Amino acid sequence: MTRYNAKETEAKWQRIWSEHCVFEVTEDTSKPKYYVLEMFPYPSGRIHMGHVRNYTMGDVVARFKRAQGFNVLHPMGWDSFGLPAENAAFENKVHPAKWTRENVAVMRGQLKSMGLSIDWSRELSTCEPDYYKHQQKMFLDFLDADLAYRGESWVNWDPVENTVLANEQVIDGRGWRSGAEVEKKLLHQWFFRITKYADELLVAIEALDRWPDKVRLMQTNWINRSEGARVLFDIVGRKDRLEVFTTRPDTLFGASFCALSPNHPLSLELAENDPGLAAFLVECAKLGTSESALEKAEKQGYDTRLTVAHPFQDGQELPIYVANFVLMEYGAGAIFGCPAHDARDLEFAHKYGLGVFPVVCPPDADPKTFEIGDEAYVGDGTLINSEFLDGLDVPTGIRRATEKLVTIGAGEGTVNYRLRDWGASRQRYWGCPVPVIHCAACGIVPVPEKDLPVSLPEDVTFDKPGNPLDHHPSWKHVDCPSCGAPAMRETDTLDTFVDSSWYFARFCSLAPDTALDRSAVDYWMPVDQYIGGVEHAVLHLLYARFFTRALRDCGYLGVDEPFAGLFTQGMVCHETYRDENGGWVFPDQVVIGGDGTKTDRESGRSVQAGRSEKMSKSRRNVVDPELILDTYGADAGRLFMMSDSPPERDLEWTEAGIEGAWRYVNRLWRMIASPSAPIAERTAEAPAASDSERESMLRVLHQTVAAVTADLEQFRFNRAVAHVRELTNHLAEYNASGPAHDHARRIAVETVVQLIGPMMPHIAEEFWQMLGHDELLADAPWPTASPAYLVDDTVTIAVQIKGKLRGTIEMPRDADKASVEKTALALDSVQRATNGQTPKRVIVVPNKVVNVVV
């Protein structure tokens, strides 16, 4: 018997699939379509185990749906703009384009060696002008439609590098590379008007029934719609009014102060003539945008000495503070504080000696004696001390108070969202240029369509801080398309989330002259099954949902939602190893001695195993997929990825696990390449007669087909693998001789091969050929379970005494209760328990269980 050569066989089938363009598809209205998409990778250099897991899942679904008769679109591309390329340029003096394209080439080869059923003719890369030129056109259309605009926002500014930093690049208030103290700076930025769709995006979440609840909840919270009221307070001694947003206008009678955000226009204005306030604002700015800093910060305020008039109580005035806990970006950037019924306000009031006036009395408390201690009361109750609101419940009070505000012209009911417009400007080189020109005379002028794409210059340097586009000698200098005068190109590039907000639609057709070929997009969209990491639960998925709607409204496509089904996979984890000096050690460097002690192959130091954690370079607990592909082949790697762990949970990568998968590959090989009992020819006719052994084999077989089909349908890959292995075990024990059995063996072997095909496509294809098929397994239809075999004619019924198992009985299916009961009571163990007495009660659940109560 020849040993199975995975490397050779896998290369062979990859070649054949590619030569025959097996996975290249076109719009075919005679078949139902199915669009499977995994989140496309950032070309960081090499694929990692997370990619292997993600793309294996997608491929299993794609191959399964394909076998079920769907016209399956399964494309792949590269999310190839982004910061790491610029960092590499800075650190290794490689041009981002070169670095990126080389990485793409390596990773494409790695993905191909996984044997994915991808239509490679649709490959795209977002950093190439043939992709981003369409994006620039979209941007111009969005400008026209007022879906993109220029605005201002606060950013993390690194004064040494002259650049904007992402939140994760700010470490303890300092730039990650320069170490300089990061400043908050107000900068002109390009925005997408996602807030225009806030309500639509929120409401539509409900209909995304094939999305994980967790992701739906996260998006709901992110958008965070809250109903409340805008309240306008007259500022004493001034003509203007202070606007605040509140969800609790019913507690206005309990107000004891107002507070402004440090960034509030009024705060800034007052600071000009108040050095104390100016200093306080600087203090607040120092906190930065980092969450941990904000978290530790104690509530602090500064008394502006201004007061506002209470809208409902003549003569009543409230002091205005500037407070570090009020966010400019939320609501109106100002609040009124009701310490009795808000924890933060209470903390603030205690600190600054402000009044605490309860106005909501809990249902079980006495309004005359109810007092607020250290804890604010935020629950429902009856309004008290509130004049015209007294005696109302909270919802009614809110309504009544809002009506009153409207009547006296001091406010109105309003809906507020946490969701803010999407700031998409990046002061960086390696991104899609924003196609506008700044002209002194004409203002912001869109680049004419005929001049697209605005391409990135290749001759840039990364030796200076700041945006290379900005210091390029000539690139930004152009004539104004409108008046012809010298003008400047926009040097901001777009956030890479823009690139990934429409790539799924672009896969439908790579037509060169149009971004989205409407007929192709109408055929394929939406994506039926999208698969990726949960880390994109909010931003990427929300932006893509917004972008799809924006494209819809600009006539690019006709769907609302990009992803009809979403699956978020778990992470790939591995044990961690540290040597006696505390240094991390790579798993493949750890040698396990006979006594179980571990040592580092290179240093010879002894090594301790730590808990299993997400694979990461910093902890060195990584296994290179290429090593696995080389050693065991793609099929074994893919099989292990699908076995054991449910796909939504973390998977623990272990040597033993991959070995087990590899053993199964070889076991199947032995069973099929050199079977211990004959397998009938393909052309052999079904026997006229069967026996019970054969029938029972066929029953297991059909039940397995049904189970695996259901499992794959529901992303229960680990169970699907278990079921196939069970069938394999049955097949291995099935050695009866004779033509009827040989025939059944043929069916069983073919079924095993077909069922395992989505997980292990190469060896399955090889088996299919060995079994005499001329056509490809990839083109073979999925097996169907025959209903006749799905029900057993005898059933095993559990016999319990007071719920405890005492034995089992074999009965014909659907036997009548009386005979089941009689058989059960006749059991020795039951006789012993009943001791000859009549049982108090006997419960018979048909075909399942008999419970005897004594």
* Nearest-angstrom CA–CA distance, 714 and 152: 46
> 256 to 275, contacts with RNA by CB under 7 A?
261
Binding track over 417-456 against RNA, x by CB under 7 A: -x--------------------------------------
> 785 to 824, contacts with RNA by CB under 7 A?
796, 798, 800, 802-806, 808
- Any bridge partners for residue 165, and if so which? 156
Q: Is the dihedral of CA 162, 166, 168, 170 positive or negative?
A: positive
Applying CB under 7 A, does 656 fall inside the site for RNA?
Answer: yes
Category of 5 on φ-ψ map: left (φ > 0), alpha (ψ -120 to 50) or beta: beta
Q: Are strands 572-579 and 651-652 parallel, antiparallel or unpaired?
A: parallel
> For RNA, which stretch binds (CB under 7 A), given 30-38, 76-84, 219-227, 363-371?
219-227
Applying CB under 7 A, does 663 fall inside the site for RNA?
Answer: yes
Applying CB under 7 A, does 826 fall inside the site for RNA?
Answer: no
> For RNA, which stretch binds (CB under 7 A), given 58-66, 91-99, 213-221, 471-479?
213-221
Applying CB under 7 A, does 167 fall inside the site for RNA?
Answer: no
> 751 to 780, contacts with RNA by CB under 7 A?
none
Applying CB under 7 A, does 534 fall inside the site for RNA?
Answer: yes
CB nearer to RNA: pick between 121 and 794: 794
Applying CB under 7 A, does 716 fall inside the site for RNA?
Answer: yes
* Nearest-angstrom CA–CA distance, 129 and 132: 5
* Numbers of helices and strands, H then E, in the chain: 26, 37
Q: Which one among 11, 180, 187, 327 touches RNA, defined by CB under 7 A? A: 327
Nearest distance from C-beta of residue 224 to RNA, angstroms: 5
Nearest distance from C-beta of residue 430 to RNA, angstroms: 25
- Report DSSP state, residue 39: P
Applying CB under 7 A, does 342 fall inside the site for RNA?
Answer: yes
CB nearer to RNA: pick between 390 and 650: 650
CB nearer to RNA: pick between 437 and 795: 795
> 596 to 655, contacts with RNA by CB under 7 A?
643-646, 649-652, 654
> For RNA, which stretch binds (CB under 7 A), given 68-76, 440-448, 711-719, 747-755?
711-719
What is the DSSP secondary-structure string of 612-639? EEE--GGGT----HHHHHHHT-HHHHHH
Nearest distance from C-beta of residue 586 to RNA, angstroms: 17
Residue 125 contacts residue 78 (beta carbons within 8 Å): yes
CB nearer to RNA: pick between 237 and 596: 596
580: which 2 tokens? 């006696």
As a dihedral over the C-alpha atoms of residue 237, residue 242, residue 247, residue 249, rounded to 10 degrees, the angle is 30
Nearest distance from C-beta of residue 707 to RNA, angstroms: 9
CB nearer to RNA: pick between 145 and 372: 372
Nearest distance from C-beta of residue 781 to RNA, angstroms: 25
Q: At what angle do helices 761-770 and 634-642 cross, to 10 degrees?
A: 120
What is the DSSP secondary-structure string of 780-834? SPPP---GGGTS-SEEEEEEEETTEEEEEEEEETT--HHHHHHHHHTSHHHHHHH
- Any bridge partners for residue 413, and if so which? 229
> For RNA, which stretch binds (CB under 7 A), given 127-135, 193-201, 218-226, 272-280?
218-226
Q: At what angle do helices 213-223 and 539-553 cross, to 10 degrees?
A: 70
> For RNA, which stretch binds (CB under 7 A), given 7-15, 53-61, 76-84, 244-252?
244-252
Amino acid at 309: A
Nearest distance from C-beta of residue 247 to RNA, angstroms: 4
Applying CB under 7 A, does 377 fall inside the site for RNA?
Answer: no
Q: Which one among 16, 97, 218, 673 touches RNA, defined by CB under 7 A? A: 218
Name the residue among 239, 227, 243 with its Cα closest to residue 411: 243
Name the residue among 269, 261, 259, 372 with its Cα closest to residue 318: 259
Nearest distance from C-beta of residue 289 to RNA, angstroms: 9
Applying CB under 7 A, does 117 fall inside the site for RNA?
Answer: no
Q: Are strands 443-446 and 436-439 parallel, antiparallel or unpaired?
A: antiparallel
CB nearer to RNA: pick between 569 and 645: 645
Q: Where are the beta strands (DSSP E) in 28-95?
A: 33-38, 71-73, 77-78
Nearest distance from C-beta of residue 477 to RNA, angstroms: 40
Residue 201 contacts residue 418 (beta carbons within 8 Å): no
Q: Which one among 128, 659, 691, 693 touches RNA, defined by CB under 7 A? A: 659
Residue 814 contacts residue 794 (beta carbons within 8 Å): no
376: which 2 tokens? 């604010």
> 381 to 400, contacts with RNA by CB under 7 A?
none
Q: Which one among 362, 367, 466, 660 touches RNA, defined by CB under 7 A? A: 660
Q: Which one among 718, 756, 766, 820 touches RNA, defined by CB under 7 A? A: 718
* Nearest-angstrom CA–CA distance, 754 and 766: 11
* Nearest-angstrom CA–CA distance, 47 and 112: 11
Nearest distance from C-beta of residue 676 to RNA, angstroms: 9
> For RNA, which stretch binds (CB under 7 A), given 493-501, 545-553, 620-628, 717-725?
717-725
